[in-house]
């Protein structure tokens, strides 16, 4: 999976699976643009892998347009977009506030849409391009206590399918990776009890393989979906969940 000289945008690239994805693309020779709100962390990762940084909020459509325009100005093309930016609220539907609901939808759904729309407008004239969105096993299975997150990832799944069908004959491939339990800052965020090795072990025991994924294991699948190795794949939702959804 050689991305030598390819222009790649990774949203949420400052931490977790987004960071792992940016690092894997950099190892494969790509020119990376990390998009994130956490400027300090984004610049640290970028310095380590030789990436560019765009600091801002993907829920703002004008910012997403600028990110793509900047990439085109610098590299003359956009080859890959990875939408890894996302947030979670650990609350039941009843407990979720209007503000929490709107923010999760703004980042996870609108942010993914705005970045896809901007990227498609750039890729379509090229006749070539790949987009990989981050869905989740919870986008199809559902889970108690994360209602807004489940709804948002379900929307990402169907957005991925719809855009893939719209652009199947334009040379664009649009797929989604759907991770299970991955050891990331998001997995550990907003817990009602301290995050201890014992808590992480209990989470791991819910997985058929008996362990949490390393972010790099998800990143490798992202690279595959973005590569020519996946040339006959579009509109696919690829589970990477150690068998969680197979039960």
244 assigned to active site: no
Least Cα distance to 222 among 10, 58, 40 occurs for 10
Of the residues 111, 149, 218, 222, only one is catalytic, namely 149
* Angstrom distance (rounded) from CA 247 to CA 53: 41
Q: 62-66 long-range contacts, Cβ below 8 Å, gap at least 24? A: 64/111, 64/114, 64/115, 64/117, 64/118, 65/114, 65/118
| Residues 6+ away with beta carbon under 8 Å from 52 | 31, 32, 33, 34, 46, 74
218's tokens: 């998800």
- Check if the beta carbon of residue 199 is closer than 8 Å to that of residue 184: no
Catalytic annotation, residues? 149
């Amino acid at each position: 999976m050689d991305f030598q000289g390819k222009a790649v945008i990774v949203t949420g690239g400052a931490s977790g699976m987004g960071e792992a994805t940016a690092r894997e693309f950099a190892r494969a020779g790509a020119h990376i643009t990390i998009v994130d709100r956490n400027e300090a962390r984004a610049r640290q990762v970028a310095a380590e892998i030789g990436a560019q940084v765009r600091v801002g909020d993907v829920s703002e459509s004008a910012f997403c347009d600028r990110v793509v325009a900047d990439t085109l100005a610098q590299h003359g093309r956009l080859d890959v977009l990875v939408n890894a930016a996302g947030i979670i609220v650990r609350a039941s539907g009843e407990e979720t506030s209007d503000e929490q609901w709107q923010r999760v939808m703004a980042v996870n759904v609108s942010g993914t849409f705005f970045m896809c729309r901007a990227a498609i407008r750039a890729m379509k004239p090229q006749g070539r391009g790949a987009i990989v969105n981050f869905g989740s096993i919870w986008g199809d299975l559902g889970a108690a206590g994360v209602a807004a997150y489940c709804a948002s990832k379900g929307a990402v799944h169907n957005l991925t399918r719809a855009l893939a069908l719209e652009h199947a004959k334009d040379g664009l491939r649009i797929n989604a990776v759907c991770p299970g339990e991955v050891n990331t800052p998001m997995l550990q965020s907003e817990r009602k009890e301290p995050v201890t090795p014992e808590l992480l072990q209990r989470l791991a025991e819910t997985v058929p393989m008996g362990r949490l994924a390393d972010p790099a294991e998800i990143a490798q699948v992202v690279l595959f979906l973005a590569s020519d190795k996946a040339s006959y794949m579009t509109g696919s939702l690829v589970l990477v969940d150690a068998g969680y959804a197979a039960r």
